[in-house]
Amino acid sequence: MWVVIPFYDTSGPVEGLSPIIKIRDVDTDILIVSGTMTEVADGFYCYDFTLYDITKRYTIFGDAVSLDDQYRYKFLTTGSHGTQINNIYLSINNADIRVEVLKKLLINRLELADGNSDNMILYEDDDITPRFTYSVTDKVDSGVVQISHIVSRRSKGV
């Protein structure tokens, strides 16, 4: 998981910092990470949190040591529902799947076409192969009709 933190002061984004990051497991109070963040651009700094576990809760503390106190510290938290999300099972087209599909639902290409049978299509990561289809109707259970019969589409990554 990438942790990205912006640092700024009264003049705007601050570049050229070496912010310190500390990541702590909330449940065990163990410090998981203590390191330096990498500058991206425009006052944004990142850290690749490779030990991230969706089932755990973390506090993230960013410290831009050289900034004045009111701009120096950033606090983040993660995972308030991690355990529950990891245990969710979904049944779509009789296929049991885990949390991996949640990512696809949020990120991958999604289309809604005219009709009322298998007219909502979620695509695989390749943006071509259909992963799941859903039947969507309007509020009176009639087939969906798009304006000028043009497919509604969400591009991948949007």
112-148 tens-digit pLDDT: 878 778 888 888 888 889 888 888 877 777 777 777 6
Q: Which three-class secondary structure string do you get for 32-77?
A: EEEEECEEEECCEEEEECCCCCCCCCEEEEEECCCCCHHHHEEEEE
Same domain, 27 and 69: yes
Q: Are residues 79 and 115 in the same domain?
A: no
Look at residue 55 and tell me if it is in a domain.
Answer: yes
Q: Which domain holds residue 146?
A: 107-154
Per-residue tokens: 62 = 């960013």
Does one domain contain both 70 and 15? yes
Q: What is the pLDDT of residues 35-85, one digit of tens each?
A: 999 999 999 999 999 998 877 888 899 999 999 988 999 988 876 544 444
Give the domain CATH number at 25. Answer: 2.60.40
Whether 21 and 69 map to the same domain: the answer is yes
- Residue 95 clears pLDDT 60, i.e. is over it: no
Same domain, 119 and 71: no
Supply φ then ψ for residue 104, to 5 degrees. Answer: -60, -40
Last residue of a domain, one of 49, 83, 117: 83
How many folded domains does the chain comprise? 2
Residue 75 β-bridge partners:
61
Last residue of a domain, one of 48, 83, 118: 83
Please tell me which residue, 6 or 133, carries the higher pLDDT value.
6
Do residues 77 and 128 share a domain? no
The residue type of 156 is K
Q: Is 44 inside any structural domain?
A: yes
